[in-house]
Chains A and B, each alone.
Chain A
Amino acid sequence: MSTKTMPAEAASREAETLDIELRDPLLAAFLAWLVPGGGHLYQGRTGKGILFMVCILGTFFYGFYLGGGRVVYAAWNVEDHRWAYPCQLGAGLPALPALVQAQRARTGRGPLWGGFMAPPRDGQELRNWHFHLHSYFELGTAYTMIAGLLNVLVIYDAYAGPMIILPQQRKRKPREGPKQDRRKRGGEGVQDNSQGKESQDVNSQDVGADA
């Protein structure tokens, strides 16, 4: 079981910490890949889990619908290098039937489930799909790819917690001269006191305002 502690968001404007119980991070990451949002539901982060599930699955299936149900398939041959599929696979379980269909096609067996997520039989069939779907083929491909890639961020969030950018990680140019700098620090010189209370206050004000 793992717990992550970090500075809270800017909204609180207080130097408090945020405790997130990540439970088993590896299992959470696997569940997050398998079903978008599943890892967060396992960790008890229900709101974020539902948000991820709705956004990612909604994007994936809307793209699948736009593409006429043809845009998610796995193929790697001389006529078709389906480079979009590794991105789509990031969405997990919804993209897995394509692997089964690709394996069947590779071994010369017919497709299952009425050709659901099956690769095109040849280049001519692929050209027919493009001809009938027009730009919706590319649009559906983009939607499903983006859904899969977004889930990579979600998997990391389930594994390690939110990727909050701390002010210490930012590179800022000094805007004030050395005299003003010493005055702000109460005449204590220019030594780095990043672990002190001043730094904590800055954390609580800046974290979350990094868009």
Chain B
Amino acid sequence: MNLWYALPLLVAVSLVYSATRNEHWKPILSHAVRFGVWVVGLMLAVMVVLTAMNWLG
């Protein structure tokens, strides 16, 4: 499965989530960027853990 399919979801979820917590464009966009980076970091961490488990197993 191509990981690029995650990108539209990441953008949509970040924008919608941050727009439900702010009212103006500037904080919405900055919050969306931070949230997107956080989600990518979480996904990378999970990937590292799963890869490590695969090597060790």
A residues adjacent to B (C-beta < 8 A):
9-11, 18, 20, 45, 47-48, 51-52, 55-56, 58-59, 62, 66, 135, 139, 142-143, 146-147, 150, 153-154, 156-157, 161-165, 208, 210-211
* Neighbouring B residues of A52 by C-beta, 8 Å: 16, 19
Contact B21–A48 (Cβ < 8 Å): no
B residues adjacent to A (C-beta < 8 A):
1, 5, 8-9, 11-13, 15-28, 30-31, 34-35, 38
The CA of A59 and the CA of B12, in the complex, are separated in Å by 7
**Total CB contacts across the A-B interface at under 8 A:** 79
Contact B25–A211 (Cβ < 8 Å): no
Within 8 Å by CB of B27, from A11, A66, A161, lies: A11
Contact B19–A208 (Cβ < 8 Å): no
* Neighbouring B residues of A20 by C-beta, 8 Å: 23
Contact A11–B15 (Cβ < 8 Å): no
Q: A51-B15, A153-B17 are in contact. List 5 more A-B contacts (CB 8 A).
A: A51-B19, A55-B15, A55-B16, A208-B21, A208-B31
The CA of A154 and the CA of B24, in the complex, are separated in Å by 15
The CA of A59 and the CA of B24, in the complex, are separated in Å by 23
Do A157 and B20 form a contact, CB below 8 Å, given A208-B31, A211-B38?
yes
The CA of A157 and the CA of B17, in the complex, are separated in Å by 10
